[in-house]
Amino acid sequence: MQDQPLLTKAERDFIQQLQLQPAAAKRKATPNLQVDAGEQLMALLANCAASQPLTIEAHFANQRLTFTVQLSENAHHEQLLELGTPQIFDEGPASRAWRLPLEPAVALRHRNGKASELWVHELSMNGLLIDYRGKHEAPSHFNLLLPLTGQKPIAIAGTRVRHTGDGLLAYRLEALDQRGNDRLLQFIYDQHRTLFPDAHRA
């Protein structure tokens, strides 16, 4: 009499899939890259990292993604590269920070949550293109809140630089505190991943 298997093939496949899912999720969430390099190269990277920031650049179409890099060591004494959230640039005759198009435009808000007359059409790490919907002259400076989908808004300030040919206003974004800068950088990167999935496919 032939022994019957305890599990069918479909059941074994299902269990195997469950076992693999947590490991795959963990790999996806881990920002570390193991460096397969000799001791001399690792020593060089460590010395460079100690004296100045390291970066890794990736190019996609006419864009450049610049990742900050830190060297670390795990419990097994393996050298790892930890990548920060990248800055994104448009490449051309002059390199400039990539502008995230916001469709529909997003109204900047006052501290009380009320919408302002400044509506953001494009956003980068150093500037905004704004449609002014007020009756008087657009402000030369603003200090407002930028709403972000699914999270708390970021307090931002900007100074008007010029009028554009299509009737919008260009504002220079003033320096943010570290937390605000990190959140804005992550937001722009997340939106870039949504708009250009092929550039981020593992």
pLDDT digits (tens, 9 = 90+) for 29-40: 434 555 555 677
The CATH architecture of the domain made up of 99-200 is Beta Barrel (2.40)
Domain boundaries, the chain: 31-90, 99-200
List pLDDT tens digits, range 101-131: 999 999 999 999 999 999 999 999 999 999 9
Q: What is the pLDDT of residue 21?
A: 44
- Measuring CA to CA, how many Å separate 82 from each of 9, 55, 151? 40, 11, 25
Ramachandran angles phi, psi of 195, nearest 5°:
-75, -30
- Measuring CA to CA, how many Å separate 49 from each of 46, 55, 81, 86? 5, 9, 11, 17
Give residue 75's pLDDT band: very low, low, confident or very high (50, 70, 90).
confident
Between 38 and 132, where is the model more confident? Answer: 132
Give the predicted TM-score (pTM) of the model: 0.74
pLDDT value at 74 more than 50: yes
